[in-house]
Amino acid sequence: MKNILKDSKNELVVIARSSLIAWVGGMGVAFLLYLAYLLIRGHSGDERIIGLAGASVTCALIFLTGYEKSDFFFDLPSRVLTWSRQRGFFRRNGTVPFAAIERVVLQSCIGNDKYYPSHRIVLITQDGELPLTVAYEHDDMNEVIAKRIRSFLSMPPDSLLEDSVESLVESGRNVDAIRLLREKEGISLEEAHDTVARIKKGKKSGKRTRGSRIGAP
């Protein structure tokens, strides 16, 4: 779940939390404590021991592989993004000058569909991709937050889809680009395929598709 924690003239703070995964991790701790209680009371032969041990391990694995906590702080006076992201027990952080952020886009995942679309917000920087979250989520706030970040960085919010599709095409993810087009534009498979082909052709010739509705012929 992503949200804008602070939005002012000079500061924009975006956070992401895996609330459900955190709850599962909490349940794992509870199972582990109850397991320890039973062992202390001498219930080592109790059938509940095996069940609690299995439940604790399962919850721990889910937490380690799925929990994410991200904080992205955009500071306008210094024109620097300060970010941190935790995945399980592993944590990364860093800073990125605004000038090094080339695009803010949405990425769709393999297997995405229009009935349950999953995305993640990614900053395309001079050093590569910097996703707000590693995981792809079905979250209506993705598009809202991506447009707000673009606006804060003086990028046109309305060209989010165009930049997202072009970014996917440039990465060789043509199928994901087609899925994203069909989801956001409501066009047919043939129209989306033709649009992606036109973008690829424009890239080879050095032309851009900006300035018109991306799904338009």
**What are the structural domain ranges in the chain?**
19-66, 77-205
Confidence band, pLDDT 50/70/90 cuts, at residue 118: confident
**Which tokens in the block code for residue 35?**
């397991």
Share above pLDDT 70 across residues of the chain, in percent, rounded to a whole number: 82
d(Cα 145, Cα 137) in Å, to the nearest integer? 13
Read off the pLDDT of residues 153-174 as tens digits, 9 standing for 90 and up.
999 999 999 999 999 999 888 9
Q: Torsions phi, psi of 8, nearest 5?
A: -135, -175
Confidence (pLDDT) at 206 = 62
**Which tokens in the block code for residue 51?**
């069940």
CB of 181 closer than 8 Å to CB of 195: yes
Read off the pLDDT of residues 15-46 as tens digits, 9 standing for 90 and up.
988 766 666 667 777 877 877 877 787 776 66
Confidence (pLDDT) at 35 = 78
Q: Which residue has the tokens 């991709």?
A: 129
User: Which of 89 and 107 is assigned the larger pLDDT?
Assistant: 107
